[in-house]
Amino acid sequence: MKVLAAVIFAAYIVATSAVPLVGEWGLKGICKQQEKVKDMTVNLNVPEYAGLWFEQGRSKSFIFDHNCYCTAANYTLESNGVVGVANSCAKGGVTGTRTTTSGTASQDDKQHPGYLDIHFKGQPSFAKGVYEVMATDYKTYSIVASCTELGGSLIWILTREQQIPDTQFDAYVKQAQDMGFDVDDMVRTVQTGCPALQ
């Protein structure tokens, strides 16, 4: 049944996505030890984490960010304790049409508050992902992972500021690498020349 679900979801991605499947699938680095990664997640304080974050870099194998510029994520704390998620980017260039994908995230594992289940609108009910906060100071940066058998090994570097120096970005990538994550396919997100977001 799990294999069938994976095949159905893969077909769903191909059918609904206009982008090619790029990067390598499969678990790499410390993502091969999914329980260990879960234990490494932070004791996340959602109200403090909520708000606007800018993507500075991501794993190339994350196909949904293909051809995206000025990528941002806005997290809101809903009345039922669920986290509202709104990911947006400009397609094709910094002045391209801005598209938004909305969903929800929840702290279902009370022993690991930094490990969230995430689901986006329009996806099948079984197509939940994981959002693993590996490091954050809430005010400056966040290192996020998603280690799943289907999605593979994904890493994001998020910051509160839209533009940061290369040296700062490199330091965050090194921090993720030192945790054991494979960062070989990390690509930098263009945030220069982007319209201001509120």
Residue 198: pLDDT band (50, 70, 90) is low
Q: How many CB atoms are closer than 10 A to CB 97?
A: 9
To the nearest whole number, what is the mean pLDDT of the chain? 85
Distance, in Å, from the CA atom of 149 to the CA atom of 145, rounded to the nearest integer, reads: 13
> What is the mean pLDDT of the segment spanning 21-42?
81
Beta carbons within 8 Å of 21's beta carbon, 6+ residues apart: 13, 14, 63
pLDDT tens profile 50-94: 999 999 999 988 877 789 999 999 999 997 889 999 999 999 999
Decide: residue 123, CB within 10 A, 0-12 exposed, 13-18 middle, 19+ buried.
middle
Q: Averaged over 19-40, what is the pLDDT? A: 75
The predicted-structure confidence for 150-194, as pLDDT tens digits, reads as follows 667 899 999 999 999 999 999 999 999 999 999 999 999 999 999
**pTM (2 decimals)?**
0.85
pLDDT tens per residue, range 79-134:
788 999 999 999 999 999 999 999 999 999 999 999 999 999 887 767 788 999 99
Res. 23: pLDDT tops 60: no
